[in-house]
Amino acid sequence: MLKRIAICLALVACSGPKSGKLPVEEPKSIETPKTAEPAPPSAYEVAKNQVVALTETANKDPLLAPWTGPFGGVPPWDKVAADKFPAAFELGLKLMLAEVDVIAENPEAPTFDNTIGALDDAGRHEDRAETLFAVMSSNLSTDAVRAVEKEWSPKQSAANDKITFNPKLFARIAAVYDARDKLTDAQQKRLAERRYEGMVRAGAKLSPDDKAKVGKINEELTALNVEFGQKVLADENTWTVIDDKKQLAGLSESLTKTYKAAADGRKLEGKWAVVNTRSSVDPFLASSADRALREKVWKAFKNRGDNGGANDTNAAIAKIVKLRAERAKLLGFATHAHWRMFDTMARDPEKAKALMMRVWPAAVARVKEEVADMQKLAARDGVRGAFEPWDYLYYAEKVRKQKYALSEDEIKPYFELDNMINGAFFMGEQLYGVTFTEITGRADVPVFLPDVRVWEVKDKATGAHRGLFYGDYFARAGKRSGAWAMGYRGHETFTGKAVTAITSNNNNFVRGGAGDPILISLDDAHTLFHEFGHALHGLLSEVRYPGLATTPRDFVEYPSQVHEMWVLTRPILDKFALHYKTKKPMPQALVDKIERSSKFNTGYGTVEYLSSAIVDMELHTLPGGDVDPDAFERDTLTKIGAPAQVAMRHRLPQFNHLFTSDSYSAGYYSYLWSEVMDADTREAYAEAKNVFDPTVAAKMRQFILAPGNSTDRSEAYRQFRGRDPDVAALLKKRGFPTK
């Protein structure tokens, strides 16, 4: 523009008449217009740009990237290594927080889609890395894995708190919540309510000072949870050595081979080893005629975490309980139990206590009867003095043989592991029309260990793919004890793309000798079907939003517990409970003996469980949280009149349910609460006179399994059964008086 103006002025100067000069004005100076400084990008634009850049990088990291391969993508176990997680977590957390900032800084008015729905879609890269790591830390814990867990768990806790305490994000969530009655979609309304209420319970409405206090407590608790779990795992990675063949008295041939295989695997040549896990310890206690050795094995198992050495957990427990009480007070709750139970079916600790104490007296009375019967046999064996906890299972087996002509050795040959796995699949097919086809060994479906097996799950009627099921069945060093189900991926459809479920079962069965069949106990068979019930719950989910997948703690055990029922049904027994030698199904005469003895030893099982649940609830209703764990455990058991002959199923020093996370804290009662619904559901099948009744099964799927938490779970049970569950069914199932 300046160049064109100069040319025009020159032309004017040269074009005047020759007769005279026209007055020419001196050209005025021309100021260059100032270019306006561009406005700095908004926080929203910064966050969006950051998400784009971080996503591009994250998609190149196999631990963070969307899963590829068949079935909508599978976990990339062939690319997973402990040393890759720190970098993945650092990037994943940055990306997650940036995605949340995009939602929080959005200049548009809050809506369900741009706030609640968007939040359900955020953090997927970090979630994938955390899922892979959770599987490793539970199944393949090594020094390297434990180091990563110790460093990064508190950082992940801090990142989650940063989201909870984000005032702009919460303001948008609150705006959607306040307008929730305008939402015409029932699932959207429920998710808006749950998201808002969950953030309030976590501290979103606290003052900045109190948010900081809660955040600090959360980080400390996460570190202590990791410390507790790692110490218990270290104590579980031990064993009792048997080096004298005489000490094998009472053990069956198959058990002897099992303990020999355990010793060989630990390079203990010429010896036998009872590994410090329940699947190894309980059969030994029920069979071994060596009372001194039973005591040694029992004490090693029950004193995990309570040996006064480097792996002692008592100090960690005391800190955890104290911090939980402080946090509950900051969040406006009387105790940790009140805070944890706010979003459960029971809601109030007193309701849970009332149910437990309704069952407790009958269980204690039954234990006295059981001990009286056993003491007679113990006296004949020359046992003098107190009848001890390590005597219980051994003499219970003797009484069962005497009263019912029944022993575990008679039952176990019918429960070969592979057959029972197939029996569980058959149950799923008959009840819900889903099939399981093994695909183990496919190169495009990697596993984290060669032992892990994989099945594709389909709808039988349509042949449509429904999900994948992974099975990891054996105990090993670095694997936590017990049995559990874990979801790798949940069902969802809200983004317009259907995502199918991937779930797993993890057990700690003990291998037999080389070439020998793997035989499991009746109790182990129930555990197998129990965990498979959890897997079915995930595989049959029809939830649209991930935020509605997780059910209350005292509901989630219900579907798993009820599926234990099918172990001893005739269709399963006829097809799958085949004697490993004769290949003949379990005879009805043996089933009848098992059924007649089904109420046998229920005192032991109930007291063992309930003492743990009651101590948990009493511990977490302490207002101040000051506690000496060993003394508290001992004093509480004395106060409730716990029989000395029965130890808690999980003593506090090894109670992973309570102290590796908040998950089951003030929540171990949930197994009993769920069993009320479980027992009542069994009555529904009994009334139908068909263990695979299609009407009952269809209602179970429609109201109990498929909706996740997209509807109120108490109402869901009423829709299924036509009424609230009847606690009398539970008492009847356990053989206790119903009045």
Q: What is the DSSP letter of 387?
A: P
Mean pLDDT of 277-290: 94
DSSP run (H or E) holding 409: helix 408-411
Mean pLDDT value of segment 128-143: 97
Instruction: Give the pLDDT mean for 379-401.
Output: 95
The CA distance from 539 to 529, in Å, is: 15
The amino acid that residue 197 corresponds to is: E
| Burial class (CB within 10 angstroms; exposed 0-12, middle 13-18, buried 19+) of 552 | buried
Quick one: pLDDT at residue 149?
97
Tens of pLDDT, residue by residue over 420-470, are: 999 999 999 999 999 999 999 999 999 999 999 999 999 999 999 999 999
Tokens 């305008």 belong to 182
Element (H, E) at 284: helix 278-287
- Supply the pLDDT for residue 33: 60
Q: Find the mean pLDDT for residues 362-382.
A: 95
Residue 142 has pLDDT above 80, yes or no: yes
* pTM of this structure: 0.90
Mean pLDDT, the chain, integer: 93
pLDDT of residue 18: 35
pLDDT at 1 over 60: no
Burial class of residue 74, CB neighbours in 10 A (0-12, 13-18, 19+): buried
pLDDT (mean) for 562-567: 98
pLDDT at 14: 38
Q: What is the pLDDT of residues 170-190, one digit of tens each?
A: 999 999 999 999 999 999 999
What does residue 260 show for φ and ψ, rounded to 5 degrees?
-70, -45
pLDDT band at residue 309 under the 50/70/90 scheme: very high
Query: Quick one: tokens of 364?
Result: 């204690």
pLDDT at residue 4 is higher than 90: no
- Overall average pLDDT of the 672-685 stretch: 97
Inter-CA distances, 3 with 7, 32, 191, Å: 7, 12, 65
Question: Over the stretch 457-469, which tens digit does the pLDDT of each residue have?
Answer: 999 999 999 999 9
Taking residues 248-270, report their average pLDDT. Answer: 93
pLDDT of residue 35: 65
Q: Does residue 26 register a pLDDT over 70? A: no
* Mean pLDDT, range 555-582, rounded to an integer: 97
Active site residue 531: yes
Question: What gap in Å lies between CA 155 and CA 161, rounded to an integer?
Answer: 10
Query: Given a cut of 80, is residue 533 above it in pLDDT?
Result: yes
Non-local (6+) Cβ contacts of 11 within 8 A are none
d(CA 470, CA 298): 32
Separation in Å, CA 616 to CA 99, 323, 642: 38, 16, 14
In order of 95, 161, 739, the CA distances from 54 in angstroms are 6, 21, 63
Residue 627: pLDDT band with limits 50, 70, 90:
very high
Flag whether pLDDT at 3 surpasses 70.
no
| Cβ-contact 2, 33 below 8 angstroms | no
Mean pLDDT of 251-273: 93
The answer on pLDDT for 20 being more than 50 is no
Write the DSSP assignment of 538-602 as a string of letters. HHT---SSGGG-PPPHHHHHHHHHHGGGGGGSHHHHHHH-B-TTT-PBPPHHHHHHHHHTTTTTH
Joined tokens for residue 571: 């269709």
Q: Please report the pLDDT score of residue 36 as a whole number.
A: 67
CA distances from 261 to 82, 301, 330, 478, 534 (A): 29, 20, 52, 18, 31
- Kindly tell me if the per-residue pLDDT of 214 is higher than 50: yes
Q: Is residue 9 pLDDT above 80, yes or no?
A: no
Domains of the chain: 43-205 (1.10.1370.40), 238-302 (no CATH), 308-406+597-668 (1.10.1370.10), 415-590 (1.10.1370.40)
Token pair belonging to 79: 């690319």
Annotated catalytic residue within 99, 105, 408, 531: 531
